Amino acid sequence: MAKILVTGGIGYIGSHTVVELQKVGFEVVVVDNLSNSNVEVLSGIEKITGIRPVFENIDCVDYVSMDRMFEKHSDIVAIIHFAASKAVGESVEKPLLYYRNNLVSLVNLLELMPIHKVQNLVFSSSCTVYGQPDVLPVTEDAPIKPALSPYGNTKQIGEEIIRDTIHSNASTKSIILRYFNPIGAHASAEIGELPNGVPNNLLPFVTQTAIGLRKELQVFGDDYNTPDGSCIRDYIHVVDLAKAHVIAVQRMLDNRTKSSVETFNLGTGRGLSVLEIIRTFEQVNGVKIPYKLVARREGDIEKVWAEPSFANNELGWKATETVEETLRSAWAWEQNYAQRSKID
């Protein structure tokens, strides 16, 4: 079966996607520099699928090593490009690290693709490109708002780099996937999210508080213009998200894309508030989350959720996991496998 390059394939979304690719018979080469992941994840993947993916410990910023990797794996037919730095706060402190890592990696791939006759690229983008949308649910043609962080800007610029490059090169195709808020873990609890240090994202903070590693969760803001005053997001099970990548790759390989660059929202279409997430997590898992309401976090969007019907209709993909099941999977992962050594 066809060979797919997955950059960042040891990370959170990448590892779940490798599993789904292997399940339908794709051969996978993972490139990851382990900057935000642990090589043990390969064993988790192997436990689930019975196949240990080929792993190349390479930095995507390193053009020469990437060139050699493509020479070695000359039968790669598509790339799913997850590799990027993703901590919003860190990107404000170290913008050049983010521009170099996220953009030079992408430019290298786009330069190397025609040289190695790889035509298909799936790119990890984010709902962050919409900022606070004027209309909800947000569709793919909503205006792109000024980025609120260097990280967010790397996704906007990354999309533009892809569009400009592909419009100049008729043989290259790309599917840009704008993720909403991925949460949860594989049902086996063999792979999941492994945040480094104090989690920035809601769900890892919730699970680490539930297990007693954190004293209490801070709910950032209770005075937003939402029914309970806390922010609203579209939380999507990471396995649902992973499955969309397999469909996107297959669509490109089957030449079913309708244009050389296609852009899809990947969300559930349902918005949930921070307080609703806490309440549902407590109910389905039978644990208490100590929390306190604190001031708003700078740069937070009040509310955003996806209009997923373009992805539903065009890709034939739909998020199917319930939020209850998703929150159960997050808790099972925390209890079984979350890595204590990485926690501050």
Residues that bind ligand NAD (CB under 6 A): 7-8, 10-14, 31-37, 59-61, 82-86, 101, 105, 124, 126, 179, 181-182
Ranges within 139-168 binding ligand WQD (CB under 6 A): 152
Q: Rounded distance, CA 277 to CA 92, Å? A: 27
Q: Is 224 annotated in the active site? A: no
Q: Which residues pair with 264 in a beta bridge?
A: 177
- Count the neighbouring beta carbons within 10 Å of the beta carbon of residue 118: 21
Between residues 108 and 207, which has the closer beta carbon with respect to ligand WQD? Answer: 207
Between residues 139 and 229, which has the closer beta carbon with respect to ligand NAD? Answer: 139
Q: Rounded distance, CA 331 to CA 199, Å? A: 15
Q: Residue 176 corresponds to which tokens in the numbers above? A: 């840009």
95 binds ligand WQD (CB under 6 A): no
- Partner from ligand WQD, ligand NAD, none binding residue 60, C-beta < 5-8 Å depending on class: ligand NAD
208 binds ligand WQD (CB under 6 A): no
DSSP state of 138: B
330 binds ligand WQD (CB under 6 A): no
Between residues 63 and 99, which has the closer beta carbon with respect to ligand WQD? Answer: 99
* Nearby residues of 140 by Cβ (< 8 Å), 6 or more positions away: 178, 263, 264, 265, 307, 310
Q: What per-residue string of b and e applies to 127-152 under the rule 16 or more CB within 10 Å gives b? A: bbbbbebeebbbebebeebebbbbbb
Helix ranges restricted to H, the chain? 12-23, 41-49, 63-72, 88-93, 95-98, 105-115, 150-168, 202-210, 238-253, 274-285, 309-310, 323-336
Ranges within 168-197 binding ligand WQD (CB under 6 A): 181
- Partner from ligand WQD, ligand NAD, none binding residue 233, C-beta < 5-8 Å depending on class: ligand WQD
Q: Residue 28 corresponds to which tokens in the numbers above? A: 């996978």
In 3-state terms, what secondary structure has residue 219? strand
CB of 26 to ligand WQD, least distance (A): 25
Ranges within 242-301 binding ligand WQD (CB under 6 A): 274, 297, 300
CB of 126 to ligand NAD, least distance (A): 4
Between residues 36 and 285, which has the closer beta carbon with respect to ligand NAD? Answer: 36
What are the residues binding ligand WQD (CB under 6 A)? Answer: 86, 88, 126, 128, 152, 181, 200-202, 205, 217-220, 231, 233, 274, 297, 300
Active site amino acids: 151
